Amino acid sequence: MALTIRQVRHFIATAEAGRVSAAAAGLNVTQSAVTASIKALEAEIGRKLFDRHSNGVTLTFDGQQFLQRARAIEASVADATRGPHRWGTQVDGTVDVAVSYTVAGYFLPPLLSRFWRAFPGLTVRLHEFERDAIEHSLMSGSVDAAVMLVSNLHDRRSICSRRLLRSTRRLWTCANHPLLHKDSVRLADLAAEPFLMLTVDEAERSAMRYWQCTPHVPNVIFRTLSVEAVRSMVATGMGITILSDMVYRPWSLEGHRIDLKTLDDDVHTMDVGLAWKSKARLSPAARAFCEFVALAYPGPDPVHFD
């Protein structure tokens, strides 16, 4: 049996949601259909892609590796069926795009590589800013669009956005941490644990949004702008953290294992998206960029850049 794009899409949705039921609801299919797709996919590639738990699923090491390939497969299919012929003649010119730190490091490179292959005559000038500066640059017109964490977007009346990727936040621990063996883990179970707080891209502000829904506060022992510092400290057992799957890697730079666990509390996702000024008149180059990005991550509703 050959691998199918349906299986790939079901796998990606489950990886992002952390639960088969949530993936099925988002895809508007039955749980049994998603489960069957994943089982068939695992049989086809000969690897276990998910660890099953009472409160959801987490990617195995092989699953993490396959997720990158699965997204490339989905993107290639989208390119083949809705490629640059959509814009008629080849577009050229320049588009200025603001990006946040996390997006620049963990999301944007593969997308830009595909865009440049499709539009070799179009130049993308990138500008890395913090969230407030991104919003200001969109409103002032100094950039045409932004790829950012739209879950942090403040001015939702003047700035339009389209979510591209929803990334689940999970608990990160060192290998064999006692919390991994619990059937259920909530924020209350983490309050006494040494907590490593990432601060880049308003990560601390985002974290406190879900902590403030409980009577507990994290026992923060270190704050840092560095994802790699958090990764290394978690892997060596210095503490735990809660971060999104998009920045997760199963190994630290030193080669130590990092494990994941899905929390039972409602911890909001980290959403990456495309943003542009409401009612802005986009140049042909900017429109081509925005439409290409939106089509690369198709959503349930069409998007219009008017």
Q: Does residue 59 sit within a domain? A: yes
Give the CATH number for residue 147: 3.40.190.10
Query: What pLDDT score does 140 carry?
Result: 96
My answer on whether 228 and 252 are in the same domain is: yes
Q: Are strands 93-99 and 122-128 parallel, antiparallel or unpaired?
A: parallel
- The reply to whether 101 and 153 lie within a common domain is yes
Q: Give me the domain span that covers residue 117.
A: 93-167+271-296
Which parts of 212-302 fold into alpha helices (H)?
227-235, 284-296
Sign of CA dihedral 6, 11, 12, 13: positive
Within a domain: 306:
no
- Same domain, yes or no: 111 and 183: no
Among 207, 200, 201, which residue's Cα sits nearest to residue 269?
A: 207
Residue 87: predicted pLDDT: 53
Sign of the CA dihedral with 119 first, then 124, 128, and 131 last: negative
87 in a structural domain: no
> Does 199 share its domain with 159?
no
Question: Same domain for 257 and 183?
Answer: yes
pLDDT at 72: 77
Within the chain, residue ranges assigned H as helices are: 5-17, 20-27, 31-45, 61-81, 101-106, 108-118, 131-140, 187-190, 203-211, 227-235, 284-296
| CA atoms in the 13 A half-sphere facing the CB of 242 | 31
Average confidence (pLDDT) per 10 residues, the chain, 306 residues? 84 86 86 92 90 80 83 73 53 93 92 86 95 96 96 92 90 94 93 97 95 96 97 97 91 89 89 93 92 79 67
- Identify the pLDDT of residue 73: 81
The answer to whether residue 69 is domain-embedded is: yes
pLDDT given for residue 84 in this prediction: 47
From 151, 133, 147, select the one nearest 103 (Cα to Cα). 147
Residues 174 and 264 in one domain: yes
